[in-house]
Amino acid sequence: MMNFKLVSYEIKDRIAYISLNRPEKRNAFNEDLVNELKKAFINAEEDKNVRIVVLGGKGKAFSAGADLEYLQSLQKNSFEENLADSNNLKELYQHIYEFKKIVIAKVEGHAIAGGAGLASACDFTFAIPDALFGYTEVKIGFIPAIVMVFLLRKIGEAKAKELLLTGRLISAEDAKGFGLVNQVFPAELIGNAVHTFAVELANSTSAQSITNTKEMINNLAIMSLNQAFNYAAEMNAKGRENSDCKRGIQAFLNKEKMQW
């Protein structure tokens, strides 16, 4: 187990469980929490024994987003100091969004503002019925700036505008309709459901293929149609040379069940 103060980190069945552990502050972000989360994700990405990451929050909230007392303390900073702090947060979101392994958000409490953004940056999100989601920054005169970058990609401009410009809270079921949540499970079932899903993914998919597929999804979003087809053809050719591809095809032809 990693030695963190504000983050819980444990590994089970090749799954790294990373949890925000600041329940008395509803897992709100401050500099220390952001830094520990960054380190935890770096550890999980570099650990060859980890195939999947499950991100959760201890206590009653997944995350309330930025710690407003911490945010208020930054108001006396210079623009350069605030930019450095913003870049630190940006690096966390970007790392999760571009993570080489699958990241699953397990939302067992409210995910508000930056907390909703944290869940949105993950590849899959599972939530309990009582969890509320919302990008509430405009209600306190702030801007949902960093989360906007990947939210627009994830759910499109019209749906993103509805959430970002109103700042309203929506239920887990409504969040599923928006494309923010994949599945909603009762609180007593979500732990087993997420673990079963993660284990199945770890056992049935190639790590190499997952990394390359996630990379392509991110890159294709900014390419012209012609660039995208050329890039896809190149990646298709490279994929045939991967050791995982050779092993997988051989196992299929031999009618063997592949265990990744």
Catalytic residues: 137
Query: In three state form, how does the secondary structure of the chain look?
Result: CCCCCCEEEEEECCEEEEEECCHHHCCCECHHHHHHHHHHHHHHHHCCCCCEEEEEECCCEEECCECHHHHHHHHHCCHHHHHHHHHHHHHHHHHHHCCCCEEEEEECCEEECHHHHHHHCCCEEEECCCCEEECCHHHHCCCCHHHHHHHHHHHCHHHHHHHHCCCCCEEHHHHHHHCCCCEECCCCCHHHHHHHHHHHHHHHCCHHHHHHHHHHHHHHCCCCHHHHHHHHHHHHHHHHHCHHHHHHHHHHHCCCCCCC
